[in-house]
Amino acid sequence: MRHFTYRPSLTLSGRKFKGLRGWAGKPFHPPLTDVPVTAYLFAAVFDILSAALHSSHPELGRQLYVAGDWTLLGGAGVSVLAALTGWADWHRSSEPGTQARRTINAHAITMITVTVLVLVDVVVRFAGYSDRGSAPVGIVVLTAIAAVLVTVGATIGGTLVYDYGFNVETAGDHPVWHQNEADVMPGQK
């Protein structure tokens, strides 16, 4: 009996390409969102630790603050791609007046708010506080708010997939539920 299969998961052949939305069964948006969500959570941890440790470990406090700077900047860069692919999903895959569209709108406004907060955070960090020895209280608060909001936004986004099945496309006849040694590839029945 086989215990692992990789090929169906990694195959794009047989999948319809849908532009900014990705391939059927392999959308672009969900994996892109993992980077900013994780970055914003780590940046909050780095900033909180930087502020907490700066008096007892000044060099560590400084390094954590710098780590927060670059982590936020990287997350913000990838969030632009996540926003573009999310817009494409909203525009092409959802219908006005539906619960899915309203949930997408709530997800989008939450994530746009997070992105604006992060961009303000990045500008303040690099324009006014880049030479600090630790994260200032205002930056810690801003980064912590962004971390809480990104968690809320990601939860709303997850509702679309796990509760509504939004944009979920399966290969053929749902082969994962069959007791069968043969792999079913995309586009096969």
Within a domain: 42 = yes
Which of 40-44, 89-93, 110-114, 142-146 has the weakest average pLDDT?
89-93
CA distances from 153 to 90, 115, 162, 170 (A): 15, 11, 14, 25
Structural domain boundaries enclosing 102: 27-177
Residue 10 phi/psi, 5° resolution?
Answer: -100, 0
Report residue 164's pLDDT band, with 50, 70 and 90 as the boundaries.
Answer: confident
**Runs of H (alpha helix) within the chain:** 7-10, 29-53, 58-93, 99-128, 137-162
Within a domain: 8 = no
- How many structural domains are present in the chain? 1
Cα 64 from Cα 120, distance rounded (Å): 19
Rounded to a whole number of angstroms, the CA Rg of the chain reads: 20
Within a domain: 73 = yes
Within a domain: 72 = yes
Instruction: Out of 9-23, 103-117, 118-132, 164-178, give the one with best mean pLDDT.
Output: 103-117
Q: Are strands 22-23 and 26-27 parallel, antiparallel or unpaired?
A: antiparallel
Q: For a pLDDT cut of 90, what percent of the chain falls above it?
A: 48
Residue 105, both tokens: 């709108």
Q: What pLDDT is stored for residue 150 in this prediction? A: 98
pLDDT, one tens digit per residue, over 46-104 is 999 999 988 889 889 899 999 999 999 999 999 999 999 999 988 888 888 888 889 99
pLDDT, one tens digit per residue, over 11-45 is 888 888 888 888 888 888 999 999 999 999 999 99
* Mean pLDDT over each residue of the chain, to the nearest integer: 86
Within a domain: 117 = yes
DSSP string, 34-47: HHHHHHHHHHHHHH
CA distances from 66 to 6, 13, 46, 95, 129 (A): 38, 43, 9, 43, 10
In a 10 Å sphere around its CB, with 0-12 CB exposed, 13-18 middle and 19+ buried, how is residue 178 labelled? exposed
Within a domain: 14 = no
Is 161 a residue whose pLDDT tops 80?
yes
Within a domain: 50 = yes
Within a domain: 6 = no
Q: What pLDDT is stored for residue 92 in this prediction? A: 86
> Is the pLDDT higher at 173 or at 10?
10
Is 4 a residue whose pLDDT tops 60?
yes
